[in-house]
Amino acid sequence: MPEKVVDVKRPSSGFSRWMFRAPIWLYRTGLGGLMTKRMVLLNHVGRKSGKMRQAVVEVAKYDKAADTVYVASGWGAKSDWYRNLLANPDIMIQRGWRKMAVTAVPLTPEQSGEAMVDYAHRYPMAAKVLSKRLLGYEVDGTDEDYYALGHDAVPFMALKPRS
């Protein structure tokens, strides 16, 4: 794969942070079902504090046969929610009105690269806008570039149902 330079922006703060966290309040007020199925609420435990934490992230892919939700950490492997799931992978999620117990399984860099290419094929405009404008990654739109982005900078996780 070709080498790519990516410019990772810092996670948002101030008003931007408030806007990213606003969907959490819809879930907390019982209106999570109004959210599109492309969003999922993660209820997880802080790796240091041990306190309950929440984050709303985009569903990159849903595998109906395996009932598995795939999500990406746009801010990279240093995102708090991502590191919390690595430390405590058994979590509860809510997608629309549905709540379920899942285990978070990190994808390998190769799998993350493939997942990013798949996402870019299914949602080309979203992949382009999110990558460059929102997250600050330089992508040229090729499969190789999206693969490098997923492989090197945007790790994915599978949220698999627990029995």
Q: pLDDT tens digits for the chain (163 residues)?
A: 445 545 544 555 554 444 556 566 566 667 666 666 889 999 999 999 999 999 999 999 999 999 999 999 988 999 999 999 999 999 999 998 899 999 999 999 999 999 999 999 999 999 998 888 767 888 899 999 999 999 999 999 999 999 7
List, as one string, the DSSP characters of 91-133: EEEEETTEEEEEEEEEPPHHHHHHHHHHHHHHSHHHHHHIIII
In terms of Cα–Cα distance, which of 141, 134, 150, 144 is closest to 60? 150
Tokens 């899942």, residue? 102
CA atoms within 13 A on the CB side of 129: 4
Q: Which residue type, as a one-letter code, is found at position 50?
A: G
At 90, which amino acid appears?
D
Residue 120's nearest CA partner among 93, 97, 142 is: 142
Q: What is the per-residue pLDDT for 5?
A: 43
CATH superfamily of the 14-161 domain: Electron Transport, Fmn-binding Protein; Chain A (2.30.110.10)
Q: How much is the pTM?
A: 0.83
